[in-house]
Amino acid sequence: MTDALTTVEPPAAATPRGGGGGTLRYVLSKVGAALISLGLIVVLGFVLFRVLLPGDPVRTLTRGAPVTPEGAAALEREYGFDLPLWGQFTRYLGNLAHGDLDRSLVFKVPVAQKIGERLGPTLLLVGVGTLIAVVLGLWLGTRTAWRRGSRFDRTATGIALALWSAPTFWLGLVLLTATGGLFPSGGITYPDTPPDFLSQALDTAHHMVLPTITLVAVVYAQYQLVMRSSLVEEMHAEHLLTARAKGLRDDEVRRRHAVPNALLPTVTLVFLHLGLVVSGAITVETVFSWPGLGLLTFEALRFPDYPLLQGTFLVLAAAVVVMNLVADLLLRVLDPRVRAS
Amino acid sequence: MTLLQLRDLHVRYPGEHAVAGVDLALAAGETLGLAGESGCGKSTLAMSVLRLLPPTAEVDGEILFDGEDVSTMSWGRLRAVRWAGASVVFQGAMHALNPVHRIGEQIAEPIRVHSPKTPPARVRERVAELLAQVELPADRAGAYPHQLSGGQKQRVMIAMALACDPKLVIADEPTTALDVVVQAQVLDVLTRLVTDHGIGLLLISHDLAVLGATCGRLAVMRRGRVVEEGPAHRVITAPTHPYTRTLAAAFPTIGDPASRYNPATAGEPPVAGTEAVGEELLTIRDLRVTFGATAAVAGVDLSVRAGEIVALVGQSGSGKTTLARTVLGLRKPDSGQVLFDGKPVPTSTKGLKAHRKQVQLVLQDPTSALNPRHTVHEAVAEGLRIHGVRGDEADLVRAALTDAELRPAEKYLGSLPHELSGGQRQRVVIAGALALSLRLLVADEPVASLDASVRGEVLALLLRLRARLGLATLVITHDLGLAWNIADRVAVMHRGVIVEHGPVEDVLLRPHHDYTRSLLAAVPRPDAGRTAEPRADQGV
């Protein structure tokens, strides 16, 4: 009977796809969406800092020193502030197309150059901090989920919640006070450190300890809690019963079937969050005078240095968009279900 | 010799005595069917054999597998027995397979666990062999579960269960979510393989017909106890326990005049007859609905008159659900017409709202159709509020509940869905539809997720609603017995077209189209046991 009827069974719900066409379309649509976001950020950058923000650029330039009306007019011409708003916008777009982010009013150097100088320390701090936070958060999340309700779970989850809700600057100041001069309170190196690589690296590491701890403390909790809830949910999955029935040990069930599946949403979150961590570094960098993009933004705000603010805004916002894109593309590589849809 | 022996088995959960003293025995190579409704303890019993119950379960009594007591086995010994000694085909293969592992990998896993020294090339060979046994091409090993159909997934589960040559296979509702034809294929593969390899089979199902067609011996479970046990043929044709009789009567034999317009019910008998049929209410002309390149509905003509019950039968993927959605105005036709009361189904938001006051949908699973946090009153009143129906809300809700035979209505008003039985939930859904000025009910598998004993109650309700209110019903189902129970006319749908159409007696008793014949052939016949000779009662 089976033979007579095999033709009747409907074809598979979805034949294996995910080859050429589907993938390309998916990537293009995600990249397209990211480009649109970037375009909106460029416009928003102009509107925020040239149209909405109060203040007089000439005053910033001259740092409040008296200036003749002719002098002020000359300065305005030099920076293009005398143009009508539309003219300023097209000039801004034109410059941007050449990678020119204008000149800083305060530092008197191109904004792009200034950002370039400060990008390294931020990447170092955020990179190391995120790496530690991810490892710590996922490990704690896995353990607390597997032993949920235990004292370990209650303690670790409680600590995570407390640190997550603590204000960053407060945490930084507490750490500074509590360690009592054991670690440098600011900067990236001492000026008298020998210029060879090893000494510089050790000194930087020494300076990094407190900012990194602060950043990790603020960030890891979210990874831990998401990993925990994702794994707790996964532990109810019926296919784990299949795995146990197959004769797998409990730790094999966890390692092969529960944790990898629970990691999928968490990995996406890590990348979604990475862009935000860069912006979150502003507070940490300010507290510890870490010479990165965050501190630069803070300095630019004080004057206010519009072109510089605009530049850091563009870079930080673009980081969020790019990381979202990476998260979308990565999930597709990792999760076959997303690949098919 | 006895492969599996249960002696005075008790399983208790906090506040529940799930299995209350069961004695059962299964000989090597024998097939034993375990029947019962949801909550009777049959799945708990099955899971206790491999100690797969949650830690809250308390097990008493003896479970001897191959002469060894499972409950005193060391963890190491137990893991060795799991899958290599006894394996499981779980219900709902959708969830029983890991969604992010390739199926070849999942079939190979128990082989690697139980014979870790098998060379990788041999494992691959074995996986291909197993896939061939369940009639799947070897290249499906690279597929992920979501790329397979329901029947294919269940075949994968069977291949997986056979991977380590077990002595016993426990199959827990292996075909419940599948339609008749696929169900027949899967049962066929399963029984052929256990017979060929001399494997003992413990098959669990709520469907006596499935068990009767597959097993040599049958045990019927109710409230944690076995109420009747014996050779399958005897239990089905001459049941001694009243409960077995109820179960056996729930699924009608097509062609049996006693069950025509008369679904098995313990309550008031339904009112039969087609005399109430009136004007043509729903007219579908040359309807086409396409998804991209595929035509889900490829030129359908169908009509439903007032007071008429029409069954639209076909397998999953035949386009019947798409057709229903079009009738409700949830999809626009690509060409052709859907006329309700002589006028095309509106497309404007306002027009659709008025349309849906008269045409309502009842879905397969009342549990997911109801908001778990809304009381019965809220659930029924929601439609009234959306449509701004005038009148006293409390009165209207009470009237609708009474119409849906939830009596006295006051008793149910404050209940939450989880406090009701499956049949009562489905009545709440129907009451929600009745509260509006309902003229056509579109019911998509209205009893597929319900227990056998309430199935008849809900079907009888549909018959009485037709007699009392002149309600027209379009029932979408893969269950031919349902059509025999309540429908006036039946339309058989296959690949987007209606291949046969006419009064129920003509189509089901004298089918003309090959597809209708194959559907009818796939309906399990409980009195035609597949395992040839009825065995003598073993043990107990």
Cβ <8 Å between A337 and B144: yes
Q: Which domains does chain A have, with CATH numbers?
A: 107-340 (1.10.3720.10)
CA of A181 to nearest chain B CA: how many angstroms apart? 51
**pLDDT per residue as tens digits for the range A247-276:** 999 889 988 999 989 988 888 888 888 877
Query: Tell me, what's the pLDDT at A2?
Result: 38
Torsion of CA B373, B375, B377, B382, to 10 degrees: 10
Would you place residue A105 in the very low, low, confident or very high pLDDT band (cuts 50, 70, 90)?
Answer: confident
Q: Ramachandran region of residue B8, left (φ > 0), alpha (ψ -120 to 50) or beta?
A: left
Whether the pLDDT of residue B532 is over 80: the answer is no
Query: Tell me, what's the pLDDT at A14?
Result: 41
Cβ <8 Å between B114 and A247: yes
Residue in A12, A241, A247 nearest the CB of B147? A12
Cβ <8 Å between B90 and A6: no
CB B234 within 8 A of CB B224: no
Cβ <8 Å between B148 and A1: no
CA of A334 to nearest chain B CA: how many angstroms apart? 9
**pLDDT per residue as tens digits for the range B393-406:** 899 999 999 988 88
Cβ <8 Å between B181 and A8: yes
Whether the pLDDT of residue B85 is over 50: the answer is yes
What is the rounded CA–CA span in Å between residue B370 and residue B130?
42
Residues 6+ apart with CB under 8 A from B376: B401, B406, B412, B413, B414, B415, B416, B417, B420, B428, B431
Highest mean pLDDT range out of A64-68, A141-145, B450-454?
Answer: A141-145
Does A1 reach chain B within 8 Å, measured CB to CB? yes
Whether the pLDDT of residue B92 is over 70: the answer is no
CA of B207 to nearest chain A CA: how many angstroms apart? 21
CB A249 within 8 A of CB B79: yes
CA of A323 to nearest chain B CA: how many angstroms apart? 24
Query: What's the mean pLDDT when you consider all of chain B?
Result: 87
What is the rounded CA–CA span in Å between residue A332 and residue A26?
9
CB B279 within 8 A of CB B443: no
**Which of the residues B65, B103, B147 would you substitute to probe the A interface, choosing the one with the greatest number of A C-beta atoms within 10 Å?**
B147
Distances (CA, A) of B410 to B64, B209, B395, B458: 51, 38, 11, 20
Would you place residue B10 in the very low, low, confident or very high pLDDT band (cuts 50, 70, 90)?
Answer: very high
The chain A residue lying nearest B79, using CA atoms, is A247
Instruction: Of A330, A155, A150, A138, give the one whose Cα is nearest residue A226.
Output: A138
**Which of the residues B89, B98, B157, B321 would you substitute to probe the A interface, choosing the one with the greatest number of A C-beta atoms within 10 Å?**
B98
The chain A residue lying nearest B143, using CA atoms, is A16
Query: Tell me, what's the pLDDT at A231?
Result: 92
Whether the pLDDT of residue B367 is over 70: the answer is yes
Query: Which tokens in the block code for residue A228?
Result: 């925990």
Cβ <8 Å between A5 and B97: no
Cβ <8 Å between A12 and B135: no
CA of B387 to nearest chain A CA: how many angstroms apart? 36
**pLDDT per residue as tens digits for the range B438-487:** 899 999 988 887 887 788 888 988 998 888 888 999 999 988 889 998 99
Q: How many CB pairs under 8 A join A and B?
A: 120
Cβ <8 Å between B79 and A247: yes
Cβ <8 Å between A238 and B95: yes
Query: Which tokens in the block code for residue B467?
Result: 């007699």
What is the rounded CA–CA span in Å between residue B81 and residue B84?
5
What would the mean pLDDT of B63-72 be, rounded to a whole number?
92
Cα B528–Cα B533–Cα B535 angle in degrees, nearest 5: 115
Query: Residues B16-20: contacts with CB within 8 Å, 24+ apart?
Result: B17/B224, B18/B44, B18/B57, B18/B224, B19/B44, B19/B45, B19/B48, B19/B224, B20/B223, B20/B224, B20/B225
CA of B176 to nearest chain A CA: how many angstroms apart? 16
Query: Tell me, what's the pLDDT at B316?
Result: 79
End-to-end alpha-carbon separation of chain A, Å?
35
Exposed / middle / buried, residue B447 (Cβ in 10 Å: 0-12, 13-18, 19+): buried
Chain mean position to CA B157 = 18
Cα B15–Cα B17–Cα B19 angle in degrees, nearest 5: 155
Q: Which range among A82-96, A213-227, B131-145, B335-349 shows the weakest confidence by mean pLDDT?
A: A82-96
Sign of CA dihedral B126, B128, B129, B135: positive
**pLDDT per residue as tens digits for the range A198-215:** 888 888 888 999 999 999
Q: Which amino acid is at A47?
A: V
Determine the 3-state secondary structure of B126 from DSSP: helix
What would the mean pLDDT of B262-280 be, rounded to a whole number?
69
Does A25 reach chain B within 8 Å, measured CB to CB? no
Would you place residue A164 in the very low, low, confident or very high pLDDT band (cuts 50, 70, 90)?
Answer: confident
**pLDDT per residue as tens digits for the range A212-255:** 999 999 889 989 999 999 999 888 888 999 999 999 998 899 88
Using a CB-CB cut-off of 8 Å, the residues of chain B touching A239 are 95-99
Distances (CA, A) of A202 to A159, A189, A192, A208, B155: 31, 9, 13, 10, 61
What is the rounded CA–CA span in Å between residue B205 and residue B32?
11
**Which H or E run includes B196?**
helix B180-196
Cβ <8 Å between B90 and A12: no
What is the rounded CA–CA span in Å between residue A238 and residue A286?
49
Cβ <8 Å between A245 and B50: yes
Query: What's the mean pLDDT when you consider all of chain A?
Result: 83
Query: Tell me, what's the pLDDT at A21?
Result: 65
Would you place residue B530 in the very low, low, confident or very high pLDDT band (cuts 50, 70, 90)?
Answer: very low
Using a CB-CB cut-off of 8 Å, the residues of chain B touching A260 are 100
CB A93 within 8 A of CB A42: yes
Distances (CA, A) of A294 to A108, A272, A277, A317: 19, 19, 11, 13
Whether the pLDDT of residue A181 is over 50: the answer is yes
Cβ <8 Å between A241 and B52: yes
**pLDDT per residue as tens digits for the range B329-348:** 888 889 998 999 888 988 88
Using a CB-CB cut-off of 8 Å, the residues of chain B touching A261 are 98-100
What is the rounded CA–CA span in Å between residue A273 and residue B86?
46
Cβ <8 Å between B522 and A247: no
Tokens 């970037």: give the residue: A38
Would you place residue B493 in the very low, low, confident or very high pLDDT band (cuts 50, 70, 90)?
Answer: very high
Cβ <8 Å between B84 and A337: no
Query: Tell me, what's the pLDDT at A60?
Result: 67
End-to-end alpha-carbon separation of chain B, Å?
13
Query: Which tokens in the block code for residue A138?
Result: 């996922």
What would the mean pLDDT of B168-196 be, rounded to a whole number?
86
Q: Output b/e per residue, B306-326; b: 16+ Cβ within 10 A.
A: bbbbbbbbbbbbbbbbbbbbb
The chain A residue lying nearest B151, using CA atoms, is A9
Tokens 């990995």: give the residue: A267
What would the mean pLDDT of B294-310 be, rounded to a whole number?
90
Whether the pLDDT of residue A17 is over 50: the answer is no
Cβ <8 Å between B110 and A247: yes
Cβ <8 Å between A13 and B147: yes
Q: Phi, psi at residue B476, to the nearest 5°? A: -105, 125
Q: Which domains does chain B have, with CATH numbers?
A: 2-94+167-250 (3.40.50.300), 282-522 (3.40.50.300)
Instruction: Of B329, B331, B360, give the one whose Cα is nearest residue B346.
Output: B329
CB B156 within 8 A of CB A27: no
Does A5 reach chain B within 8 Å, measured CB to CB? yes
Query: Tell me, what's the pLDDT at A4?
Result: 38
Instruction: Of B390, B487, B477, B403, give the one whose Cα is nearest residue B438.
Output: B403
Query: Tell me, what's the pLDDT at A19?
Result: 47
Query: Which tokens in the block code for residue A100?
Result: 């020119």
What is the rounded CA–CA span in Å between residue B540 and residue B532?
22
CB atoms within 10 A of CB A179: 13
Please report, rounded to a whole number, the percentage of residues in chain A having pLDDT higher than 90. Answer: 22
Cβ <8 Å between B147 and A340: yes
Using a CB-CB cut-off of 8 Å, the residues of chain A touching B150 are 13
What is the rounded CA–CA span in Å between residue B174 and residue B205?
8
**Which of the residues A6, A146, A242 would you substitute to probe the B interface, choosing the one with the greatest number of B C-beta atoms within 10 Å?**
A242
Whether the pLDDT of residue B320 is over 80: the answer is yes
Select the more confidently predicted residue: A137 or B278.
Answer: A137
Cβ <8 Å between A10 and B522: no
Does A147 reach chain B within 8 Å, measured CB to CB? no
Residue in A9, A242, A264 nearest the CB of B149? A9
Would you place residue A12 in the very low, low, confident or very high pLDDT band (cuts 50, 70, 90)?
Answer: very low
The chain B residue lying nearest A17, using CA atoms, is B147
Cβ <8 Å between A5 and B80: no
Does A260 reach chain B within 8 Å, measured CB to CB? yes
Residue in A6, A244, A337 nearest the CB of B99? A337
Would you place residue B126 in the very low, low, confident or very high pLDDT band (cuts 50, 70, 90)?
Answer: very high
Tokens 């777009």: give the residue: A93
Q: Which range among A257-266, A298-307, B224-233 shows the weakest confidence by mean pLDDT?
A: A298-307
